[in-house]
């Protein structure tokens, strides 16, 4: 029985890593679709998101089935429950990539991104892609040090988010309102994508150390940088 249980746990872990791979591919292709105004690429991202949704449902069903069959307790139980929370974060990351792709599709044949902001949006996409790739490794390795280090990537995303807002707030630019709204939302999507990755990393820390506060504390930081972004890039204060 225990062997079957640990085989199931391995399946769950593999599925979570697969979700990070799919979310990484989605945010990478969504960023390209946004910058290149590639409607077909955007549509492929939107279509592919169903795969993340399906895996998330499978994962929840497998977890519930596993709880019913194996009746795990203590750490084993926490692993299964935490996996369900992680799959929720990862599915949401896929949704956020799909949101970016929908903005891309909406503005074709034009790009939603003004030329002056192209390299900035590309950077946000690259940080998002890097953070979710690390997320996959952290889930597979249960590496607490790497999970803690992920905050650094999130700080980088927060800084990029601040800079984007500072640019959007510049009254001297003559971008159309649609670009201002698109990029305000797109900036938020990338920033939330990174937040969910940090949330997954914190759940790994929780699993290994048993410290739960880690998981929720992040909300405050998220707010702090959100406000800082709106404050045209002044330092974050919660």
User: Would you tell me which residues interact with a second copy (CB under 8 A)?
Assistant: 46, 49, 53, 56-57, 60-61, 63-64, 67-68, 71, 73-74, 77-78, 81, 84-85, 88, 91, 95, 98-99, 102-103, 106, 165, 168-171, 176-178, 180-182, 184-185, 188, 212, 216, 219, 223, 226-227, 230-231
Q: How far is the CB of 140 from a second copy (least distance, A)?
A: 24
Contacts 24+ apart (CB under 8 A), 128-132: 128/27, 128/31, 128/157, 128/190, 128/193, 128/194, 129/24, 129/27, 129/28, 129/31, 131/157, 131/193, 131/194, 131/197, 131/198, 132/20, 132/23, 132/24, 132/27, 132/93, 132/193, 132/197
Q: How far is the CB of 51 from a second copy (least distance, A)?
A: 12
CB nearer a second copy, residue 134 or residue 165: 165
CB nearer a second copy, residue 105 or residue 134: 105
Q: How far is the CB of 130 from a second copy (least distance, A)?
A: 25
Report phi then psi at 172, rounded to 5: -75, -15
Q: How far is the CB of 191 from a second copy (least distance, A)?
A: 11
CB nearer a second copy, residue 133 or residue 185: 185
Q: How far is the CB of 183 from a second copy (least distance, A)?
A: 9
CB nearer a second copy, residue 91 or residue 158: 91
CB nearer a second copy, residue 59 or residue 127: 59
Report phi then psi at 165, rounded to 5: -65, -40
Q: How far is the CB of 53 from a second copy (least distance, A)?
A: 5
Write the DSSP assignment of 118-130 as a string of letters.
HHHHHHHHHHHHH
CB nearer a second copy, residue 59 or residue 134: 59
What b/e readout covers 25-42, taking b as 16+ CB neighbours within 10 angstroms? bbbbbbbbbbbebbbebb
């Amino acid at each position: 029985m225990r062997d079957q249980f640990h085989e199931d746990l391995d399946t769950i872990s593999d599925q979570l890593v697969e979700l990070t791979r799919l979310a990484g591919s989605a945010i990478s292709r969504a960023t390209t679709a946004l910058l290149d105004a590639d409607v077909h690429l955007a549509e492929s991202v939107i279509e592919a998101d169903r795969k993340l949704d399906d895996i998330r449902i499978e994962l929840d069903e497998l977890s519930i089935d596993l709880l019913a069959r194996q009746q795990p307790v203590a750490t084993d139980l926490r692993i299964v429950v935490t996996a369900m929370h992680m799959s929720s974060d990862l599915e949401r990351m896929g949704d956020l990539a799909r949101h970016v792709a929908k903005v891309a599709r909406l503005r074709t044949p034009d790009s939603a991104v003004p030329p002056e902001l192209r390299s900035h949006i590309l950077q946000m996409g690259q940080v998002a892609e890097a953070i979710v790739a690390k997320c996959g490794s952290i889930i597979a390795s249960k590496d607490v040090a790497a999970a803690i280090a992920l905050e650094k990537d999130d700080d980088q995303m927060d800084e990029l988010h601040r800079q984007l807002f500072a640019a959007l707030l510049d009254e001297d630019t003559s971008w159309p309102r649609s670009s201002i709204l698109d990029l305000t939302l797109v900036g938020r999507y990338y920033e939330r994508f990174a937040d969910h990755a940090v949330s997954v990393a914190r759940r790994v820390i929780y699993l290994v150390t048993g410290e739960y506060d880690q998981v929720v504390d992040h909300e405050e930081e998220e707010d702090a940088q959100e406000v800082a972004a709106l404050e045209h890039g002044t330092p974050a204060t919660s």
